Structure formats: C-alpha cells, structure tokens
C-alpha cells in the first residue's frame, strides 16, 4: 500500500543514469528523519519520470514535497531509503525559506570518521563494512573551495571537487550537485570560493570495498534569490 513521505528536499544529486533525492521529513514545520526515495534498480537512482511533478518540473533543493512510497528499504550503510511508487507523481507547492535552513542543520563530530582517502581526495571514503547509522548530513561550513580540473595526469577528464574544513578536519570530495557541476565546468580550471555555504553530504553506494563521501548539494543564499 502506498504511503506519503513529506520532506524538505536538500539534494537532487547526480547518480549513475539518474538522480539521488534526499531530504528531511517535514513534521509540522520541524525537522524529522532523513528520507531517501530510491528506485527498484540495483543502483537505486531515481529517473526523471519517477521524480517529476505533474507539470514536468524537477524537484529543487528547499522544495517541500510529497513522495508516494511503497516500502521501507534500508541497506547496510543507508538506513534512510524508501522504495518509491514509480506510478505516481510527486507533489510540491511550497518551499522552505532560506532563513530557516539553519534550523535543519546536523552537528556530527565528524563526517563518518577520518583517515581514509583515495587518490587526490582527503577523508572521502569509509570501508564498506564500517557500521554507519546514517548516510546523510546537512552541515554549515565557513568556506567551500571548489576545485575544477583534470582528476590526474592518467585521468584527464575534468571534474569538480569540493574542499572544506569541518570541526577542524579537512575534507576533499567529489561534488555531485548538477547545478554546481555545470556552473563550474563551464568556467576555467582553477580554484573558486563559496563563502558560508550549507552542504548536504552523503555516502554513496558501496564500490570496490568502500563507500564514498559526496557533496550532494551546495546551498547558499544567492542560489535562492
């Protein structure tokens, strides 16, 4: 039987051939648990047809939206997953004002621990077998440095990474926010700065023994003016 989950959307992030949508449950204006609607596909991404509103719009960060779901579908490192109903439209007719985002922040001590890094990244992954109670956080940082350029000499394709400090720990992760990716891939290679953003950070699906930390959304006031 279909049930509705009403969330504030904090990420519409690139994933495989679709998107990863994530947000916190709306509890009469107060933040509830994280919710991630997922498809029945093995990689769980949500297609445009599955996530769009009846008027064809795509969900945007800060939309307050209602998602029809079929069942709770947690996996080892993602306790927030709910299997969406692919035959019903999502609905939204309001947004969370930017000034209220600060009331929805998380305050973890670290982002799933430190010490595990892959090539040209910093503290960007955890071992697949690690015990993880949640896979999504909404955090505030003083500064985000956006790095645009080739991943390495061996992998010359340009990528967009985000580097920031949180609770005195340094992180460098891939940015999978398609709006931010598109904006900075259109610019020259280099380092750019976003002051005082709110970040939605996420653990992706397991890949070759690790779950990778991702910046799923970069949110700042100017984006919502």
What is the tens place of the pLDDT at every residue in 83-135?
Answer: 999 999 999 999 999 999 999 999 999 999 999 999 889 999 999 999 898 99
Are 114 and 218 part of one and the same domain?
yes
Same domain, 91 and 68: yes
> Of the residues 98, 126, 158, which one is the last residue of a structural domain?
98
Question: Last residue of a domain, which of 83, 98, 113?
Answer: 98
Residues 21, 124: one domain? no
Q: What is the largest distance, in Å, between two alpha-carbon atoms of the chain?
A: 52
13 with 47, same domain: the answer is: yes
Please state, rounded to an integer, the average pLDDT across all residues of the chain.
96
The total number of structural domains that make up the chain: 2
Considering the domain architecture, whether residues 125 and 210 belong to the same structural domain is answered as yes
Q: Is the pLDDT of residue 154 over 90?
A: no
* pLDDT of 155 higher than 90: no
- pLDDT of 151 reads 86
β-strands 210-219, 125-127 pairing = antiparallel
Per-residue H/E/C for 115-165: CCCCCCCECCEEECCCCCCCCEEEEECCEEEEEEEECCCCCCCEEEEEEEE
Please give the DSSP secondary-structure letter assigned to residue 108. -
Q: 121 and 207: one domain?
A: yes
Is pLDDT at 21 greater than 90 in this prediction? yes
Q: 8-22, 63-77, 148-162, 198-212: lowest mean pLDDT where?
A: 148-162
Residues 60 and 89 both lie in one domain: yes
Assess whether 115 and 157 both reside in one domain.
yes
6: number of Cβ within 10 Å:
17
Angle at alpha carbon of residue 90, lines to 211 and 203, rounded to 5°: 10
- The answer on 157 and 139 residing in a single domain is yes
Residue length of the chain: 225
Which of 68, 83, 98 is the last residue in one of the domains? Answer: 98
- Are the CB atoms for 34 and 40 separated by under 8 Å? no
- Which structural domain range is residue 162 located in? 104-224
- C-alpha closest to that of 106 among 34, 35, 27: 34
Tokens of 60: 């945007």
pLDDT band of 153, cuts 50, 70, 90: confident
The closest of 70, 177, 77, 74 to 125, measured between CA atoms, is 77
Asked whether residue 124 falls in the same domain as residue 13, the answer is no
56 band by pLDDT with thresholds 50, 70 and 90 = very high
- Measured CA to CA, the distance from residue 34 to residue 52 in angstroms comes to 20
Q: What is the pLDDT of residue 131?
A: 84
pLDDT band for 201, please (50, 70, 90 cuts).
Answer: very high
- Tokens for 137, please give them: 């956080």
Q: Identify any residues that bridge with 202 across adjacent strands, giving them in sequence order.
A: 136, 214
Q: Which of these, 93, 69, 98, lies nearest to 81 by C-alpha position? A: 69
Between CA 146 and CA 218 the distance in angstroms is 10
Do 111 and 216 fall into the same domain?
yes
Q: What pTM did the predictor assign?
A: 0.96
88 and 137 fall within a common domain: no
């Amino acid at each position: 039987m279909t049930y509705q989950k009403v969330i504030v959307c904090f990420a519409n992030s690139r994933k495989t051939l679709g998107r990863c949508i994530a947000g916190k449950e709306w509890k009469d204006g107060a933040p509830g648990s994280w919710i991630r609607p997922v498809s029945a596909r093995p990689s769980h991404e949500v297609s445009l047809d599955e996530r769009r509103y009846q008027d064809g719009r795509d969900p945007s960060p800060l939309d307050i939206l209602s998602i029809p779901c079929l069942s709770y579908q947690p996996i080892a490192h993602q306790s927030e997953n709910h299997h969406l109903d692919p035959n019903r439209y999502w609905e939204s007719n309001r947004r969370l004002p930017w000034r209220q985002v600060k009331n929805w922040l998380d305050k973890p001590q670290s982002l799933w621990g430190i010490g595990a890094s892959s090539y040209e990244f910093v503290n960007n992954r955890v071992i697949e077998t690690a015990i993880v109670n949640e896979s999504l956080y909404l955090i505030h940082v003083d500064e985000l440095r956006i790095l645009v350029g080739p991943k390495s000499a061996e992998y010359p394709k340009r990528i967009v990474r985000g580097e920031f400090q949180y609770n005195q720990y340094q992180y460098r992760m891939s940015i999978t926010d398609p709006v931010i990716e598109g904006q900075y891939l259109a610019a020259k290679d280099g380092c750019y700065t976003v002051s005082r953003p709110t970040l939605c950070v996420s653990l992706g699906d397991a890949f070759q023994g690790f779950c990778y930390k991702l910046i799923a959304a970069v949110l700042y006031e100017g984006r919502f003016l």
